[in-house]
């Protein structure tokens, strides 16, 4: 496996997968299966490469221009956000990907792959914070913001930072089976398959106020009292529009239908309650404007990929 470094790399995108593969290698050698994975850190110049956190990683050698490549793993970091098609690193990725059996990105490493044209026409993911930016910069890529990792043939992409561990475990499972991957996951004290998507780790999305007065007024009504009757017909009447005209203008201004917007605001409200107060799920549902705990559960599964009680166990503040 080759991991090409660059200035501004995210160190955990490198170290996380490296530890997974090193652990799998030790396990395989102990079982007499084979030598495991050989991982090489490379860069334009051998030697120390400074990560964006200030930590230095050491490249074993220069970016190789020949020879077989099993897996090419491209880490993310601030350095990828300013890369362009003419960047030497991107050119090297494009050439090297042609002889690689598997091409993998972690976090914003997807930006480098996209610059190289390797994600055109494919589904891909990246860190949730940068997903919209990736979609804007590379419209030929179908960006899936909630996925922990995605596989499209020989191209794999992972979400932000620690998701590189999830992806590396998936690579081990694909290569050597679930039992080996599970043993490595247990040693690292992580899930083999993390429940839910990465949206559960994202903060509530702030939507700028709409310029259209009627839509802005509806936004204020929704945020002002998520427990109110916020059916489309009611909101349209409150702002003096027909239901059809209101739905069309709201969707045009904010990018989603009013019903979806209401559900997202209610989910965000319930998240804050579950994170900060030791109340029953049914109480959180009522305070967020859901008709029942079951309605809220379905909304959480749609939006976050996990039910409310699982979300609370993971993110609630522990009260003394």
189 and 45 in one domain? yes
Residue 42, token pair as written in the block: 């490379």
Query: What is the number of structural domains in the chain?
Result: 2
Strands (DSSP E) found in the chain = 2-4, 40-43, 47-50, 56-59, 61-62, 69-74, 100-105, 123-124, 142-143, 149-152, 155-158
pLDDT over threshold 90, residue 113: yes
Residue 320, domain member (yes or no)? no
* 246 Cβ contact partners less than 8 Å away, ≥ 6 residues apart: 214, 218, 232, 235, 236, 239, 258
Please name every residue paired with 4 in a beta bridge, in sequence order, or none if there are none: 42
Alpha helices (H) in 116-212, listed in sequence order: 131-137, 163-176, 178-188
pTM: 0.70
- pLDDT digit string, tens, across residues 262-318: 999 999 999 989 988 889 999 999 999 999 999 999 999 998 888 999 988 888 865
176 and 59 in one domain? yes
Predicted local confidence at residue 201, as pLDDT: 72
267 and 218 in one domain? yes
102 and 16 in one domain? yes
265 and 243 in one domain? yes
- pLDDT digit string, tens, across residues 163-178: 999 999 999 999 998 8
pLDDT over threshold 80, residue 195: no
**pLDDT band of 209, cuts 50, 70, 90:** confident
195 and 298 in one domain? no
pLDDT over threshold 90, residue 14: yes
Q: Residue 111, SS3?
A: helix
Contact criterion met (CB below 8 Å) for 44 and 89: yes
Here the CATH number for the domain that contains residue 264 is 1.10.10.60
Residue 206, domain member (yes or no)? no
Q: What percent of the chain has pLDDT over 90?
A: 72
171 and 58 in one domain? yes
Predicted local confidence at residue 320, as pLDDT: 45
Residue 45, domain member (yes or no)? yes
- pLDDT digit string, tens, across residues 38-76: 999 999 999 999 998 899 999 999 999 999 999 999 999
For residue 41, what are the domain limits?
Answer: 2-201
pLDDT over threshold 60, residue 319: no
Active site residues: 107
176 and 97 in one domain? yes
Listed ranges 100-104, 206-210, 219-223; the one with the highest mean pLDDT: 100-104
172 and 136 in one domain? yes
């Amino acid at each position: 496996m080759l991991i090409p470094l660059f200035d501004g790399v995210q160190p955990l995108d490198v170290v996380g997968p490296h530890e997974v593969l090193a652990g799998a290698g030790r396990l395989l050698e102990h079982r007499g299966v084979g030598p495991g994975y050989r991982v090489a850190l490379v860069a334009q110049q051998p030697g120390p490469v400074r990560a964006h956190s200030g930590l230095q990683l050491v490249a074993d050698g220069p970016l190789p221009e020949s020879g077989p490549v099993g897996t090419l793993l491209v880490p993310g970091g601030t350095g990828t956000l300013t890369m362009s098609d003419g960047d030497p690193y991107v050119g090297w990725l494009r050439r090297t990907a042609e002889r690689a059996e598997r091409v993998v990105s972690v976090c914003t490493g997807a930006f480098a792959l996209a610059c190289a044209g390797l994600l055109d026409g494919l589904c891909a993911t990246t860190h949730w914070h940068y997903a919209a930016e990736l979609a804007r910069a590379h419209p030929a890529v179908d960006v899936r913001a909630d996925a922990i990792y995605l596989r499209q043939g020989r191209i794999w992409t992972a979400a932000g930072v620690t998701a590189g561990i999830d992806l590396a475990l998936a690579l081990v499972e694909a290569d050597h089976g679930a039992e080996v991957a599970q043993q490595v996951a247990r040693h690292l004290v992580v899930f083999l398959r993390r429940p839910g998507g990465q949206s559960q780790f994202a903060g509530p999305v702030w939507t700028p106020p709409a310029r259209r007065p009627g839509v802005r007024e509806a936004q204020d009504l929704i945020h002002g009292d998520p427990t109110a009757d916020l059916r489309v017909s009611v909101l349209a009447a409150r702002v003096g529009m027909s239901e059809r005209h209101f739905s069309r203008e709201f969707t045009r201004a904010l990018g989603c239908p009013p019903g979806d917007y209401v559900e997202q605001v209610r989910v965000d409200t319930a998240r804050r309650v579950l994170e900060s107060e030791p109340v029953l799920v049914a109480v959180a549902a009522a305070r967020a404007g859901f008709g029942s705990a079951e309605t809220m559960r379905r909304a959480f599964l749609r939006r976050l990929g996990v039910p409310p009680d699982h979300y609370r166990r993971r993110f609630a503040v522990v009260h003394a």
